[in-house]
Amino acid sequence: MISFRKKIVTQASQSFTFSRRAFFLSAAQYTVGGLLVARMGWIAIAENEKYELLSESNRVNLTITPPRRGWIVDRKGLPLASNRTNFRVDIIPDRLQNRERVLADLTRLLNLDPNSVDRINEDLDKAAGFLPVQVADDLTYEQYAAISVRLNELPGVAPAQGFSRFYPAGPSVGHLIGYVGAASAEDYQKTKDPLLITPGFKLGKQGLEKSLDSLLTGKPGARRVEVTARGRIVRDLATRPDTPGRSVKLTVDAGLQAFAGRRLGTQSGSVVVMDCQTGDILTSASMPSFDPNSFSDGISHLEWEMLSGDERVPLRNKTLTALYPPGSTVKPMIALSFLEAGLSPNDTTVCTGALRVGNRLFHCHLRRGHGTVNMHRAIEQSCNIYFYYFAQKIGMNAIAAMARRLGLGQRFDLPFPSQSYGTVPDPGWKQRKYKQDWQTYDTVNATIGQGYMLVNPTQMAVMAARLATGMDLAPHLLVDGKRHAGQPLGIGLDHLTVIRNAMKDVVNGGGTGRAARLDIPDVQMAGKTGTAQVGALSASGRGNASRPYRLRDHALFQGFAPHDNPRYAIATIIEHGGHLDRNQDAPMISGDCITYLYDPAKAMEKLETLEKSWGGTPQQRLERQLNAFRVAKGLAAAPISAEAANAANAAAPANAAQPGGASEGAGEENEEGGGDRPLSEIVQPSGTGGAGAPETP
């Protein structure tokens, strides 16, 4: 039964209910308040530093300043790579908005050409969001100011004032010094160093700039500025200057380096000059080359395409990474091995123009023969038959041992990431490599610098220096305050004297290197010419002039001066030169480079006359070559500098003239013969690409 009794509400019960509700409400309020106070205390005390930094970052902008790179200077302190003040504009992809409009405005303000716009678009497509993309460098102050006053309209655009790398000698030092460039995304991922993504910072990409990058890179500076919420600078708060990198001093002579690069003319080749007293490398020139200023500023894809497709391989450092058969330049070394093995310099043989070895006929370059020849005459006249005959009696092991003592096949401690060491073949080497026995014809080919034997130009210069001094000189490129005189090779002075006298007559007597004679009082060059066959074409009677460029013989020269008290050693190799132009052949180039060391004015006067017929300096020719390439691609030619235009006009009549005639070393064309050896058995030098080429942009 349900009760309907009415509940009696008293004042006491109402007071109790109110008090209980008030208690719970107050407790809740105190709890929430306590939590708020605790949180505020935590933020204000425990996390004070964190929020203070966040607040400061909203008010203060910290910008890293790229450090200036250390200079690279020559032995006299003259700059080979320096820094110059410049204005630039970059784009930070993460901050870029309305890309098409921004690029259109930049194109209008900076007068960007279509190639530059295409390059910027490609770089933006490839770049990580944090990696700055260079828009333009080396701007005028007016262009820099035009961008700076419009920053609110150009989100993501970052103008800056800094330093750019400058190479005064241009292409002449391209392979030696290398170049710098912006860090790639891969570079950043390796170290996560924020300096690598700082606009304007560049690191070494090739050559000495790369191998010495840790020394040349300094410590970055910093700039703290107060900014508004929109990023506008209010005032500078503090600035910490950068610390420049260390300067590096080379053994190179800047004047000789530039001269050698220019003296190679229109040929593809290299010149290496060493100091016979210390082993210092005075020049290491490889031409044609690239302009390192173009790479450092951001090379266009058009210029890269032109350089990478050039059959003369301007992207390859020929002094260390190109390999060639040394040809007859090794005959003094071969003769020295004969002497050390007990052969008398007066022993003779009869050269009739050919010698049968087994069922093959090996020729001398003088088909009618030299008659009776001893060692002196064999070197002076570069008689193949003498070396064919006595090499079979002495054997290849003695020859190979002497080649290694004189630096062939050797790796040198030089600050370059890659070297090609070449090959000094012997019976053991052939068995290891080809699982074949050594044959007599292998010895015959090796004695005239053909067959399997390969060297690079630096090794050939070392061979010349060691023949000149009898010391185990090693090449050095960095000045370290030490004297590197080398140790005796243990070769008798009487044997060295026989070789040196014969090499003297190669140049100053009736030998094959008369074009290398020096017009310097009381200074005579000793040397040896060489011709390295690229293919077995000489037997067909087909001369170099009628062959395609890639099938012409290489022209070589190695020597030293003065012959009676050697101070300088030189090696010059002209790729596919074929002895077709006397003025651009290895002997005369070598003679002029040595002349520069004694009489720079005389050497420069001759060079400037020659350059008028070549179309100007390497920089001027490279500029015109790029313009011709642009026209061939259907693009408008870029305006050339007044200096280049003047050189082109001055050279116009001379360019129609014939080359200066055959070299006096041209009589040695095909001197190595090669007999009936199949083309497949002749080892070819590498011709394209390879280690040492600049990275693809």
184, 188, 216: which is closest to 73 by C-alpha? 216
DSSP 442: H
488, 493, 528, 515: which is closest to 333 by C-alpha? 528
pLDDT in tens, 266-282: 999 999 999 999 999 99
- What is the C-alpha end-to-end distance of the chain, expressed in Å? 99
For residues 361 and 431, the answer to whether their CB atoms sit within 8 Å is no
CA dihedral over 492, 494, 496, 499, signed as positive or negative: negative
pLDDT of residue 295: 86
Return d(Cα 31, Cα 8) in angstroms, integer: 35
324, 321, 326, 319: which is closest to 284 by C-alpha? 319
* Domains in the chain: ranges and CATH: 66-249 (3.90.1310.10), 316-456+485-562+582-595+679-697 (3.40.710.10)
* Element of type H or E holding 222: strand 221-227
Tokens linked to 269? 């080749």
Tokens linked to 552? 């012409």
pLDDT of residue 29: 82
Given the residues 328, 337, 420, 590, select the one marked as catalytic.
328
CA dihedral over 514, 518, 524, 528, signed as positive or negative: negative
pLDDT in tens, 453-509: 999 999 999 999 999 999 999 999 999 888 788 899 999 999 999 999 999 999 999
Longest dimension (CA), the chain: 153
Q: Give the dihedral of Cα atoms 602, 268, 254, 582; nearest 10 deg.
A: -10
Return d(Cα 175, Cα 179) in angstroms, integer: 9
Return d(Cα 5, Cα 565) in angstroms, integer: 138
Q: At what angle do helices 427-434 and 396-405 cross, to 10 degrees?
A: 90
Per the annotation, the verdict on 328 as an active-site residue is yes
pLDDT of residue 542: 58
Residue type, 292: P
pLDDT of residue 9: 61
Using alpha carbons, list the distances in angstroms from residue 39 to 33, 43, 46, 56, 687.
Answer: 10, 6, 10, 21, 73
pLDDT in tens, 180-214: 988 888 888 888 888 887 877 889 999 999 999 99
Residue type, 228: T
Using alpha carbons, list the distances in angstroms from residue 637 to 110, 117, 118, 310, 624.
Answer: 19, 17, 17, 19, 9
Return d(Cα 559, Cα 571) in angstroms, integer: 7
- Tell me which residues of the chain have a pLDDT lower than 50: 537-541, 642-697
pLDDT of residue 259: 97
Tokens linked to 661? 């005639």
